[in-house]
Structure 1
């Protein structure tokens, strides 16, 4: 079996093994799809050989994401999720490299089509997408970096009806709450902190809850 055939076989196996019963099979692969899947196999091997995580992300941002961008734009416009492996892998790379607008587009597309996650990933596409985005936001906040609240707010709104792991939704609520607190919207932040704590007591927001309760109590006690 040559390299191209091997890539096709792996792609078919992943799709068949992870595709929900309610989702129709994707359209047949064309020549470009096959070439891109072969390229993905090569790129994944290349990334695996790089030991530095920082260097991996540099390669993803400078070389890999641009390589697939036009191809993926065509899939999104035509609403054809023919190559889940490429779509989901680029979603992961976009989050890794802080391209959150592109990640949001790919993630919503992947969820809408219930795409399978790569082999070795335990979470389904909804929890992988939201979980990784929330984790990225929390990491930015931890390092005192700016989080664009628009994509975070949109993600929370769009995922309201999704069946998410409690820990994933708790992280999303915490990330949102921290952004609202940073913007001094304390009355909005406090309920989100409480929701996060209710879903996952290990999310570490108890101090924030106490802090905002005291702050809001003091503000309400001030004469008008």
Structure 2
């Protein structure tokens, strides 16, 4: 029986699951970090043999001057993963006491910030919106421990992937003042993934484009 997503395969899984530590190979030639003249930033990295021999994962991200974080993931599973391996983005948010977790229909999540800079006076939070391709399932789970922060809520989206075929995922993280309703923040987010593997996101009049070749742009 398959482990429930997103339980780490080091704890429970099947013969296809692949321990991450010591197996994934960083691709240094793919690593980039740069800024444009407007204060927007871009970065990318990649790994081979990531959760499966012959698999490749590439992540690209744009952080705008407004604080919007756009993250794209391209994952091509190795042949050992077959046709129904589950994959998708996972994010760790602050735990909110009493908040229900589990499967959900909506493709976004919201939580207070885990921490903030000393000079920030307003109570702030973050919304995580995951582009819905029509096949993703969404949910959350409470974690009693984590590697580097206090107990948190892990939010996720996932769907089956096919070995040898590149799967695309898109996450949009937008900060907001907790005094405001997160639904209003999500209403200002639009996204599309084109067949050319072009990711396009609109957030409150800011247009972000990330291409699979690593080119990117921000327009206002």
TM-score, structure 1 as length reference: 0.24
Higher helix share: 1
Q: Which of 1 and 2 has greater Rg?
A: 1
Work out which structure has the larger RCO, using CA pairs closer than 8 Å and 6 or more positions apart in sequence: 2
Q: Which of the two has greater strand per residue?
A: 2
